[in-house]
A and B are shown apart, each in its own frame.
Chain A
Amino acid sequence: MTDAWVVLQASGLRESLAGLLSRLPEGAIAPTVELLMAVLKATAIVLVIQLGMLYSTWLERKFIARIQDRVGPNRIGLFGLGVPFADMVKILTKEDITPTAAHRWVYNLGAVLVVPPALLGFAVIAFDRHLIAADLSVGILFFFAVASTSVIPIFMAGWGSRNKYALIGAMRAVAQIVSYEIPQVLSLVGVLLLAGTLGVNELIASQGPLGDGGFPGVWFVFLQPIAFIIFLIATSAEIERTPFDIPDAESEIIAGYHTEYSGIKFGMFYLALYFATIAAAAIGAILFLGGWQPPFAFLAFVPGWAWMTGKTVLLVLVFMWLRGTLPRLRADQLMAFAWKILVPLTLVNLLLTGLIGKLLYAAEQPPLVVFAAFTVSNAVLLGLLLWLIAWWRERDGAPAVRFDAPLAPSGRTA
């Protein structure tokens, strides 16, 4: 397995940089080389992610078109592969309109600041065992802390536009993002508790055959399936993808907080959305699907970055699939779902995981017993989830779902 990062580190890039800088004073060479290496690494990551973003817009159009029985873009280039670049040219050459009523500084800063939070999380994403830019000891915490700052530019955009739709959109966005942040971060605590670390590489190492041989040795999705589902739901609310796109619901409030933006400034919001989607899929793959770990030891000949990319693309496709199949929720349903169903569920999951961790795993019971205990605890959680939803629907006066009821006659005759 060739390791691109190691090759890059060992390829003499450092030495040649030091050679170029040999005219500097002796003490300044090493720090400058470090700084230049950091700039090169950061630029490389940004370029790769940018390409990934362009093609995930293409993938989303194609995939959703297929779900809806259409063909999707197919004109520019083979299979429409040139469409993202044509879009880029279009967005760059569009006229920029700043409404006279808007607060110019807040309005423009909103469009600029929306990108960095979505991009910064990639600093701690491990694409392979050594292909990680900054393996911080608090990597997971850093990722979610940075991602959660995205509410500030969004609110700046909505408030600065001085447009009623934009303000409503921004208010909804802030309420939604802060509400779903709670189940999102709480659903991870079970994983962190079992892994006992916040470092990204250590976390991945603990969940597969190429790891440190410790517990659990399998992907966390098998131990915490309900937490994984809660994480997926909360994350797609967090990045405001349909069915959680109430902040920019076209049929209600035009385009929410980016109603007033045009040209490249609208493009920034679009960019941030796709960066955030890829970042969320990547962190989901790291936390629950084992990152660069293969599922079995005999598959270790496939390089780690291929596993990581595959899992990330898989989760991106899950987000797109949700968008293609589900209708938008209502604002009150959305908030109630976060606080009354997801938060209690994550807390119960945390208690059960803590109990199993201490009473069975720490007491060195055989792995099979521990897995059985997790199966039971997740079955309990699933039951609780279904019961909560049923109770909620009944209280709201929604018609109870009857699976045994005969289907209503559809107008179509065979």
Chain B
Amino acid sequence: MSESWVFVAVFALIALSIPLIGLLMAFALRPKRSGPIKNSTYECGLETIGETWIQFKVQYYLFALVFVLFDVETVFLYPWAVAYNHLPLFALVEMFVFLFILGVGLVYAWRKGALEWV
């Protein structure tokens, strides 16, 4: 098993080298004629107005918060699902309770308008 993980590490390095090789090849081949107009921000040919890095709509962050809740839930569900066939009937009841509490959480977020895109 440990040699599988060695392979994964090697594969990660090879995967990272793919874009680097591409960038190097393009660096050798491409023309290099830059200019101030060419390097300006691409917004329909007009000068860009105002700062880009501003405070953003809060709705995106609400979705991220609900996401964290459900992602952690999934982390608990995966081992339960894998071991399910060896567990007693009580495991099913326990998971029902767990999912029920989460369901209540989802309904709460829904009612509070966290899932509305305003």
Contact = CB atoms under 8 A, between A and B. Distances in A.
A354 B67 contact: no
9 contacts: A39-B10, A93-B26, A115-B19, A134-B11, A136-B1, A167-B53, A174-B60, A264-B25, A339-B110
A362 interface: yes
Interface in B62-101: 63-64, 66-67, 70-71, 74, 77-78, 81-86, 89, 92, 95-96, 99
Interface string B6-39: 1110111011101110110111011111101011
B28 to A, nearest CB: 9
Main secondary structure of the interface of A (DSSP, over half): helix
Contact of B16 (A112, A163, A190, A340): A112
Interface of A: 34-35, 38-39, 41-43, 45-46, 50, 91-101, 111-116, 119-120, 122-123, 133-137, 141-142, 159, 162-165, 167, 171, 174-175, 178-179, 181-182, 185-186, 189-190, 192-193, 196-198, 254, 259-260, 263-265, 267-268, 271, 331-332, 335-336, 339-340, 343-344, 347, 350-351, 354-355, 357-358, 362
Contacts of B23: 111-112, 264-265
Contacts of B3: 34, 38
Given A115-B19, A162-B41, A351-B96, A123 B11 contact: yes
A370 to B, nearest CB: 13
Contacts of B99: 347, 350-351
B82 A192 contact: yes
A332 B22 contact: no
Contact of B43 (A93, A163, A335): A163
Given A123-B11, A134-B7, A137-B1, A95 B31 contact: yes
A-B pairs with the 5 shortest C-beta distances?
A332-B117, A264-B26, A134-B4, A193-B81, A119-B15
Contacts of A91: 26
Interface of B: 1, 3-8, 10-12, 14-16, 18-20, 22-23, 25-27, 29-34, 36, 38-43, 48, 52-53, 56-57, 60, 63-64, 66-67, 70-71, 74, 77-78, 81-86, 89, 92, 95-96, 99, 102-103, 106, 110, 115-117
Contacts of B56: 167, 171
B68 to A, nearest CB: 9
Contacts of A34: 3, 6
Contact of A355 (B18, B86, B92, B115): B92
B19 A46 contact: no
B40 A100 contact: yes
Contacts, number: 217
Contact of A92 (B16, B26, B96): B26
Given A97-B34, A112-B19, A358-B84, 9 more contacts: A39-B14, A95-B30, A111-B19, A141-B78, A159-B53, A189-B78, A196-B85, A198-B82, A264-B23
Contact of A119 (B18, B30, B92): B18
B52 A38 contact: no
Given A96-B30, A98-B39, A136-B5, A181 B14 contact: no
Contacts of A101: 40-41, 48, 52
Contact of B4 (A94, A135, A164, A198): A135
A358 B89 contact: yes
Given A182-B70, A357-B85, A171 B78 contact: no
